[in-house]
Amino acid sequence: MQASADSTLIAASASRRRRTAPSRLSWIGLAAVLVTLLALIPLGFILWVTVQTGWETATALIFRPRVGELLVNTLLLEVLAVPACAVLSVALAWLTERSDLPGARLWAWLCVAPLAVPAFIHSYAWVSIVPGLNGLSAGALVSVLAYFPFLYLPVSAALRRLDPALEDAAAALGHGPWSVFFRVVLPQLRLALCGGALLVGLHLLAEYGLFVFVRFDTFTTAIVDQFQSTFNGPAANMLAGVLIACCFALLALEMLARGDERYARVGFGAARRLVPASLGRATWPCLLLFALVALLSLGVPFYTIARWLLAGGLQVWRLDEISAALGHTTVLALGGALLATLAAIPMAWLSIRAPGRLQRVLEGCNYMVGALPGVVVALALVTLTVRYLLPLYQTLATILVAYMLMFLPRAIISLRASIAQAPVELEQAAMNLGRKPLDALWSTTIRLSAPGAAAGMALVALGILNELTATQMLAPNGTRTLALAFWAYSGEIDYAAAAPYALIMVAASLPLTWLLYVQSKKMAGQ
């Protein structure tokens, strides 16, 4: 009798799950579709404007000498900066992870710390010290110093996971150290190198402030100049279209370079413990390399900020202006981070609870649009609001939507990892106890994934803190964030007045940079 009752209860519970799961899946799927359609607005609008402009006008605006010049600049910048970042990052990562370098942990942190310094502050620091620094070489130099940590982090994590037994086997077959590195170690770093190189390449396409300081023209600087000087919609949109094509070309190139080889270790047993390589006489030259990189990537920015703070004295600390800028930045960062995190919940939930073809398409669209430069997102929203939704032009709602679109992938990735650790059985148990699907989702999965949501909000807030182009084009009148205040003073060559804002942005970014460093260690099992 008891067994019969138990089986009846189990059948009723299963029946309830079958009734509630499709309804819950339908409204979460609908929310994910709506967010994805919103995220596709910049890309769709640029394509629509291209069609509306007409073939003759569009071709005239695209196939002109100015676009060719910008394309050559972009290609040369990518060719110079990305390989330089890769070579530098691989060398630094191998020394900190696979050798007996003294103080390896300290040097590893110093290799990640440049991420706390916004790229335009790197450029500001170098131009302050070397006023004649400009052009392609200057852009490539500062780009490498600002962005090489994006490659160092994944490469160092990959090196920590490699099984040294493979290298021992190659050495036993007669291969020397260099041959072992290039034939065994380097091929296993392909995924990390491709992913990091893609991040660096996309940042180079999107960067604005860095290249303005060194007077090097790129598509992003040209689009912003076109918008601010003449508000020429078709010309700016055509430049944005070429920039989107460059982004997609980078994505395709990364997929080709990545390939479909397997990199997982499939043998029995645990990986052998690493015996660090002895540097011997090369120890001091290697230490000198790290000291030089730290000096150029961290010493120059901090020295420049301190120099201008001392030169400006107490009068550069205009507390009323600084407090107002800090308040505006805080409101925008918290509002944008909250909106992006809420918008990411449906997509993150689907990717874990209901994976499938539609989910992969929707998620891929969000990541693809997230790779677009902020200036393209801002230009699309500016044109859309000016033409059709004028009351929303330069309002808080528009700038928050722009932040959501730009930083949505950061929130999705953080939430997805947390939701994966929340057992689905808790949601089912809550519904079996009479909770509605939404209440069950909120009381179990959403609450358990709160740490991941907080991490995602922090990542989005950091991006908003250092964001410049979209804020310039979309922020309401009177808005003055830390980045905008820094940019205004530096544009007037008042570097002393800009220094407090630079210091505050760096100080606010350092804790999260440390968190990224610690997280990379955890992901590699250390």
For 415-477, the three-class secondary structure string (H helix, E strand, C coil) is HHHHHHCCCHHHHHHHHHCCCCHHHHHHHHHHHHCHHHHHHHHHHHHHHHHCCCHHHHHHCCC
Would you state the structure tokens that stand for residue 293, as one six-digit string? 């990189």
For residue 44, pLDDT beyond 60: yes
The DSSP secondary-structure symbol of 184 reads I
Q: Is 128 left (phi over 0), alpha (psi -120 to 50) or beta?
A: alpha
| First vs last C-alpha separation in the chain | 54
Q: How confident is the model at residue 78 (pLDDT cuts 50, 70, 90)?
A: very high
The structure tokens listed for 168 are 């021992």
Find the mean pLDDT for residues 212-232.
82
436 or 120: which carries more pLDDT confidence?
A: 120
Contact 209, 120 (CB under 8 A): yes
pLDDT of residue 19: 42
- Taking the C-alpha atoms of residue 428 and residue 426, their distance in angstroms, rounded to an integer, is 5
Q: For 400-458, how does the pLDDT look when each residue is reduced to its tens digit (9 = 90+)?
A: 999 999 898 888 877 776 777 666 666 667 777 777 666 666 666 667 677 767 777 88
Bridge partner residues of 99 (DSSP): 277
pTM of the complete model: 0.81
Answer whether 224's CB lies under 8 Å from 208's CB.
yes
Identify residue 360 by its one-letter amino acid code. R
- Give the number of other CB atoms < 10 A from CB of residue 227: 24
Label residue 4 by pLDDT band (50, 70, 90). very low
Identify which has the larger pLDDT, 45 or 332.
332
What confidence score (pLDDT) does residue 25 get? 63
Average pLDDT over the chain reads 82
Question: What confidence tier does 306 reach under pLDDT thresholds 50, 70, 90?
Answer: very high
Count of beta carbons in the 10 Å neighbourhood of residue 230: 10
CB 280 within 8 A of CB 104: no
Give the Cα-Cα-Cα angle 482, 486, 487 (nearest 5 degrees).
Answer: 115
